[in-house]
Amino acid sequence: MTELELVRLAKAGDRTAVAELLSANATQAYRLAQHILRNQADAEDATQSALVKAFTNLGRFDEQRPFLPWLLRIVSHEALNLQRAERTRFNFWQRHNPGVQSEESVESVVLVRQQYRDLWRAMNRLNASDRLVLTLSYFMGLREAEVATTLGIKLGTVKSRKHNALARLRSLVQRDFPGLRDEVLGRPEPDGTSS
């Protein structure tokens, strides 16, 4: 059965179709929420809330468009809203312990190699907007047009945001992660170029 057929059945209230659409997309939705929130419980909350919203508003979904970017857009809104709320709540902790949550909350993401742990930590130092565009592009495997739909921005904006986020990530790696810099970017030559 195609995705479009599933969506139409789900819109008509077919519970099997709803369950199938859920199981096909829940992991991707959770993955995005996890990247934004970096906390398993919050990611599950945001995903659940987003999927409930999505499926109770299926009538508004334009069937001519792909389903996943539409769903991920709702997930990112829910996750960012939750993040804002959590940030307000935990403001007084983080003021005195900056970075504790953002850098150390890798426990639910299995990163075997040290290189990836450092890259994850570097990514967590980026702002939410940069992390989101990199996550959608490289971890979720979305095409730029899909990223644009998910974020509700123009294709050209996706390209520039992605480039700028990568450049900022590179600066962080060069400045604060010497091991990662040598391994990923190449060891700097005496004349300042990379090997």
d(CA 65, CA 169): 32
- Footprint of other proteins on 97-126 (CB under 8 A): 97, 100-101, 104, 108-113, 115-116, 119-120
Q: Indicate the SS3 state at residue 108.
A: coil
CB of 8 to other proteins, least distance (A): 17
From candidates 3, 14, 20, 26, binder to other proteins by CB under 8 A: 26
From candidates 1, 12, 62, 88, binder to other proteins by CB under 8 A: 88
From candidates 6, 7, 17, 18, binder to other proteins by CB under 8 A: 18
Report the alpha-carbon angle 111-78-122, nearest 5. 30
CB of 5 to other proteins, least distance (A): 19
Alpha-carbon separation of residue 77 from 25, 47, 162 (angstroms): 16, 10, 19
Alpha-carbon separation of residue 32 from 11, 58, 186 (angstroms): 24, 20, 30
179 makes contact with other proteins (CB under 8 A): no
CB of 170 to other proteins, least distance (A): 6
127 makes contact with other proteins (CB under 8 A): no
- Picking from 120, 115, 109, 145, the residue whose alpha carbon sits closest to that of residue 33 is 109
Side chain identity at 47, as an amino acid letter? T
d(CA 21, CA 94): 38
| CB-based contact 133:161 (threshold 8 Å) | yes
Residue ranges in contact with other proteins by CB under 8 A: 18-19, 22-23, 26-27, 30-31, 34, 40, 43-44, 47-48, 51-52, 55-57, 59-60, 85, 88-90, 92-93, 95-97, 100-101, 104, 108-113, 115-116, 119-120, 134, 138-141, 163, 166-167, 169-170, 173, 184-186, 194
